[in-house]
Structure 1
Amino acid sequence: MSAPVISNPPDRPWIVQKYGGTSLGKFLGAIASDIIPSYIESGNRVAVVCSARSGESKSTGTTNLLLRAALEALRPRAPDLSSSMPSIAPSPAGTPGASTSDRINPLTSQIFQKSASNGAPQASSSRSGASTPSVRGANSLAGSFSSLRMSDEGPQLFNATVDQIRDDHFKAARAVVRDEALLRELEDDLEYDCERLRSFLLAAQIIDEISTRSKDIIIGVGERLSCRIVVAVLKDRGVDAELVSLENIVESAADDDETRSADGQRQLGQPFYDRLSKRLGERLQECGDRVPVVTGFFGVVPGSLLAQVGRGYSDLCAALCAVGLSASELQVWKEVDGIFTADPRKVPTARLLSMITPEEAAELTYYGSEVIHPFTMEQVIRASIPIRIKNVENPAGVGTIIFPDPPSEEGEGSAEELSRSPSRANSISEQQLRRGPTAITIKDNILVLSIRSNRKTISHGFFARIFGTLDRYGVIVDLISTSEVHVSMAINGDIRGPVMDRMTKELQIVGEVSINRDMCILSLVGKHMKNMVGIAGKMFSTLAEGNINIEMISQGASEINISSVIDGRDAVKALNLVHQKLLSSSAAAPTVGPWLV
């Protein structure tokens, strides 16, 4: 194996690159050979944040397989462990507040905690003589559990799933790592992580419980496995890289870590993310001239990472890394050139947008276009760091920049400020010229729930009863239209039949209920639409000319979004009609400047 020849240059601006599971699964060779080295050689320091690898289908993605393994650990196929259970010292009896999951913590810390610096075992597996105590303890514990892996009915359900995860990563590693010594070391590390996962699932099976904290830890395995492969491939291509595992980055909770939302739900407060971003920046700086390859999973946070953030936590991790490093740019690499005026798969005339505001991106995300989670954008935009959407299949493309509008008042936005942010300066020309709609999107699988009051005059409890019922069933309303005795709401159509039946019965106490299924929400988005007189009229008249009936109409208070509910069968037709009338190159204001694609 030749020594790495490419490393991060000192005292240069940082660029944080986030790669999703699909990109890492299909284009890792190009990422390691071309994309990352090209940015380093152009005078940037690069930090890489990775998601868990995706599979050939959604169900075979690593994260979904890990969730499946967690469920399988609790299925009723476990053997009777009373006679063969290894000796595990329990917590002292009578410990206040000690739950079952709390008592397993000493065990899980032996199984599942690694070095906080890089998450790798300090000594290799059987190839290296003596092991470190932490590795030896984990191997010993895994050995003591080996007799429990088989039940009277056959192997544990999760064993096959863990084997599938391991084999998928072995296959991926062998396809991209050419150096045999690197590949052997990588396979040892992958095997080690999968055996720790297996032992952790066995421990969870013994206590018959997987808490939210445990589920977070299980999910984090996917990012660590992914990052191990990325580090090996980068080294194989001559790039000096270091694995940065963030499973222990959250050290302790502070009093202001959690706040309460309006509905009483626990949420992590901004002070928590401010401290975390600072800690992340310090940790990545410790890598020196090596390229940090960072796990998108950043530890067990108060209230559970999945519950607080959801499956998009790797995007948030990249954003916090960018803030902590004061990066010049956060790049999110996908399999599309950027954000378009409409879905190019449905609208052949859709155009690539060189720049879009965070408000517009948030609206497009909510109403059907997969952009970036609004909370993730908020973290970097607060630090004045632009986000660029790039395509792994077209690295030379300029992509789409997400950044706020330039100041409109004279005297703001000095030449010095713009010179420090070229992406901001280059985007001004487009934003100053574009004063109409920015994009149009469709949100499918919508149903319209309408309730007409059974009283001639509306009572003060009418709306309270309706939304109280929706809240109990966890239903989120996308759009709402009201009159004195009537309310119509557009909601997600994935609600299960029994749940919808029970909810409908409760609502019938308040009034007459009707449901229209197979609808969709057509949303026209643009921060500057308020400067165009009659834009809503043009949109609705265009739909009328196409003989498309409108079920509901709604306009946001900020005037950034005009939405209507139409029949789902007319979705593609409506998209093309409105795009041709309001967003095509002949209808939209021209864009000029270096970002023209």
Structure 2
Amino acid sequence: MKVLKFGGTSVANPENINKVRSILENLDSEKVAVVVSAFGGVTDLLITTAHLASSQDLNYKMSLQEIEERHLNTIRELIPVQAQSQVLSKVKGDLNTLETLLEGSFLIGELTPKLSDKIVSYGELLSSFIITEYFKNVGLDIAFKDSRELIITDNNYGKAVVDFPETNANCQAFFEENTHQIVLLPGFMASSKSGDSTTLGRGGSDFTAAIIAAAQQASILEIWTDVSGMYTANPKLVKQAKCISQISYEEAMELSHFGAKVLYPPTIQPVLGKKIPIAIKNTFEPESLGTLIGENHNGQGKTVRGISHVGNISLLSLEGPGMIGTPGISKRFFETLSLKNISIVLITQASSEHSICVGIADGDAEVATEAVNETFAYEISRNRIKPVNLEKDLTIVALVGDNMKSHQGLSGKMFSTLGKNNVNIRAIAQGASERNISAVIRKDDVRKALNSLHETFFEENIKQLNLFVMGVGNVGSKFLAQIRQQKKYLKEEMKLNVRVIGISNSRTMAFDEDGISLKEWEATLSRGEKADKKQFFDRVKSLNYRNSVFVDNTASAAVSDSYTNYLRNSISVVTCNKIACSSDLGYYKELKHLAKQYNAPFLFETNVGAGLPIIDTLKHLIASGDKVRKIQAVLSGSLNFIFNTFNNSVTFHDVVKEAQEQGYTEPDPTIDLSGIDVMRKILILARESGYPLDIGDIHNDSFLPKESLETKTNDEFFASLKKYEADFQKLYKEAVKSESKLKYVAQFEDGQAQVGLQKIPKGHDFYNLEGSDNIVLFYTERYPDQPLIIKGAGAGADVTASGIFADIVRIGNF
């Protein structure tokens, strides 16, 4: 004999009920018991209606009418007209009885547990009768049996305790005499020894099916629901979650206890002793394998089988010196909670006996706090014990697996993963069986925690990076193109899944929580909302994704001022914007400090040398114990391009214009030609070398006329270049005469930095520097005479974008 249970979503409407019919029609000739829940949502509606009635709110009548119409419409849609009369008569009679019960609750203004059970049981009573009559009419060999005649309980209304000896005897007697292939029973409901209706707790339809399966020694118990089995994590929160094909009874109990809602936790108990397997199947995808729960299904040696969570948890902590060495404190504490009928989800106690901490439901928090404070009022008044400390809005996250006990380092791996994503752990618990490791965290961090842990334990070490990109102009668009091009390579070869979640330019911004299509990002941005830097940050913060990275491709001081906000929220920052690292020394130090404090990398390789690994190389030198003595560099790709192109056959104005058009200069070319850009770069290198300089400490020997430096617009600036063309030609002729080339050089030595135009003679490392290339010479204690040289393209959108890309990869490997 098989036992099948169909949940509320499986019988929510006529269309779904027909899917159940199809499943039953395809069964073999083996006898079957089918347990059904109330139509989807009806139980909640009955509870709401009952509470409205007991509150003497006449709106209960509207809720009752909705319940009535739901069931009558289902009859009219499923049952042929000629067969409807008898079914409608029976259902209307039950609805009239339900109305009488609700009227009674309304009149006395009270809802007792006993009355509540009687009212709520009508959901299953009505659905099971209607479905049975429909199946009879389509030719199934089926009979209806009221579960209240089989399952006997005590009088603990709302969550009654089953009398298994009497229940088993009733089931065996009934099914021995049954001649029909299918028996359909209402779930959730039972009756007390005195004949009153009782219920088995929310999710009790699963329990009903398990009770019957155990009583009949069924070959299998099938739980049909709206998902294809138990998953490695909640698929609504973790899109990468996978179905678990096989799992042990103990693992399933742990997962169901910690929030895996496809299975009501008590369901496993009756079938466990009889070793009856449980299959979790999908009514809407019956061909899917689902999950098989049984003995020793340990996942072929896998350690962690699933990650689950329980939300709406409060931590109740009792602590104080008076607890140390005092017998009976724990007894009084737990007894107080027990007397208030408060269930404890998690317990942790310090070995010093100085504190006890328990996790309970948020709804019980206030009552528990008041009760415990009252119990220990004397000790509190004598300052022997502190008043209860209550923390609300928490969630328990748990790793589950039978084989966890034989593997070292799982706890460390779990806590390290959470720590790297700045998920603060409030309490930890691990059972002696080592089948479960639980951590209490803020409920706002649950999505991040589940995804991070799932990535660590189930996704073959594929790390997801979630990017939020501000600035999608020349550099930004190239960066997005490179990400798109390399996405497959990154995932397959580097185990990095890079997604762009948000993008913004100066006009609009757009977000997609599943990742913006990099093929159509321009169209997505065009449909976006008005750009706002604060709202952009607020959205990034509220999404609270793991491994979040803010990418700044702008040259905006306002954007660079926001870096502290991102870093304080454990959001990494990658930027080609030089303003932050070359601004006030205090701000630079604060950014570096926040990056360490909140475990959020702050990377700015492209601040000096675009895509060249200048800063990364410098960091490695310093980390390995080397010390920088001197730096000589040509750090402006735009100025190098300009002076490599400029000669007596072309005007300085035209060369600068060409550099701007090719994207070598900043949007405001005076930033490059005034030397400010080079000053910022040498300042960053000096700071990264360990020297506390500010921009005012750098001497700038500018080659531009004062009038050019003081222009307000690009048009004025270019006009001034034409005016002083003779001065620029003079500089060129002097360099040619001395067989030199003009290079704009930055130098740092003995704590002093300077920048300026120099005539570079033949044989110098800078002499043959072509195009827009950069070059840096590091003279260090290890490289005192022959410097460490880094040379290559130092300007252009492609190489700058590649430098940003490289920083993203560094974070991925962090």
TM-score under structure 2 normalisation? 0.51
| Aligned equivalent of 1:480, options 347, 372, 383 | 347
| Aligned equivalent of 1:53, options 39, 54, 77 | 39
Structure 2 CA distance for aligned equivalents of residues 448 and 283 of structure 1: 48
Secondary structure (helix, strand or coil) at the match of 2:136 reads helix
In structure 1, the partner of 2:12 is 25
In structure 1, the partner of 2:23 is 35
Secondary structure (helix, strand or coil) at the match of 1:541 reads helix
Structure 1 CA distance for aligned equivalents of residues 223 and 71 of structure 2: 23
Pairwise CA distance, 1:310: 1.7
Residue 527 (str. 1) matches residue 418 (str. 2):
no
Change (3 A) 1:507 1:302: farther
In structure 2, the partner of 1:245 is 146
Q: Which piece of structure 1 moves more, 232-241 or 342-351?
A: 232-241
In structure 2, the partner of 1:440 is 307
Change (3 A) 1:305 1:326: farther
Change (3 A) 1:29 1:567: closer
Q: Could you tell me which amino acid in structure 2 is paired with residue 28 of structure 1?
A: N
Pairwise CA distance, 1:18: 0.6
After superposition, the C-alpha distances for 1:166-214 in whole angstroms (9 at most, x for unaligned) are: 211011222333x211233322221121123334555777888766444
Map residues 308-323 of structure 1 onto 2, 5 A cutoff: 309-323=200-214
| Aligned equivalent of 2:123, options 182, 203, 222 | 222
In structure 2, the partner of 1:183 is 84
| Aligned equivalent of 1:353, options 244, 248, 258 | 244
Pairwise CA distance, 1:503: 4.8
| Aligned equivalent of 1:273, options 149, 160, 164 | 164
Residue 466 (str. 1) matches residue 333 (str. 2):
yes
Structure 1 CA distance for aligned equivalents of residues 323 and 142 of structure 2: 71
Residue 511 (str. 1) matches residue 386 (str. 2):
yes
| Aligned equivalent of 2:76, options 143, 149, 174 | 174
In structure 2, the partner of 1:89 is none
Residue 494 (str. 1) matches residue 363 (str. 2):
yes
Pairwise CA distance, 1:517: 2.8
1:435/1:532 contact within 8 Å kept: no
The alignment-based identity, stated in percent, is 29
Pairwise CA distance, 1:341: 0.7
| Aligned equivalent of 1:194, options 77, 95, 108 | 95
Q: Could you tell me which amino acid in structure 1 is paired with residue 86 of structure 2?
A: E
In structure 2, the partner of 1:414 is none
Pairwise CA distance, 1:470: 2.8
1:223/1:296 contact within 8 Å kept: yes
Structure 2 CA distance for aligned equivalents of residues 305 and 539 of structure 1: 49
Structure 2 CA distance for aligned equivalents of residues 570 and 250 of structure 1: 42
Structure 2 CA distance for aligned equivalents of residues 207 and 486 of structure 1: 46
Structure 2 CA distance for aligned equivalents of residues 203 and 519 of structure 1: 39
2:121/2:197 contact within 8 Å kept: no
Pairwise CA distance, 1:525: 0.4
Dislocated runs of 4+, deviation >6 Å: 203-210, 303-308
TM-score under structure 1 normalisation? 0.68
Residue 542 (str. 1) matches residue 433 (str. 2):
no
What is the total number of aligned residue pairs between the two structures? 451
Structure 2 CA distance for aligned equivalents of residues 202 and 308 of structure 1: 21
Map residues 52-451 of structure 1 onto 2, 5 A cutoff: 52-55=38-41, 61=42, 63-71=43-51, 159-177=61-79, 179-200=80-101, 212-249=113-150, 268=161, 272-302=163-193, 309-405=200-296, 431=298, 433-451=300-318
2:29/2:181 contact within 8 Å kept: no
Pairwise CA distance, 1:371: 3.6
Secondary structure (helix, strand or coil) at the match of 1:519 reads strand
| Aligned equivalent of 1:553, options 423, 428, 431 | 428
Structure 2 CA distance for aligned equivalents of residues 386 and 52 of structure 1: 25
After superposition, the C-alpha distances for 1:440-471 in whole angstroms (9 at most, x for unaligned) are: 11222222222321449542243344334333
1:20/1:334 contact within 8 Å kept: yes
2:160/2:201 contact within 8 Å kept: no
Secondary structure (helix, strand or coil) at the match of 1:22 reads coil
Secondary structure (helix, strand or coil) at the match of 1:24 reads coil
Structure 2 CA distance for aligned equivalents of residues 480 and 304 of structure 1: 39
Change (3 A) 1:524 1:299: closer
1:268/1:308 contact within 8 Å kept: no
2:155/2:198 contact within 8 Å kept: no
Change (3 A) 1:285 1:198: farther
Structure 1 CA distance for aligned equivalents of residues 432 and 127 of structure 2: 43
Residue 16 (str. 1) matches residue 8 (str. 2):
no
2:189/2:200 contact within 8 Å kept: no
Q: Which piece of structure 1 moves more, 526-535 or 480-489?
A: 480-489
2:317/2:358 contact within 8 Å kept: yes
Secondary structure (helix, strand or coil) at the match of 2:167 reads helix
Structure 2 CA distance for aligned equivalents of residues 577 and 209 of structure 1: 47
Change (3 A) 1:471 1:47: closer
In structure 1, the partner of 2:477 is none
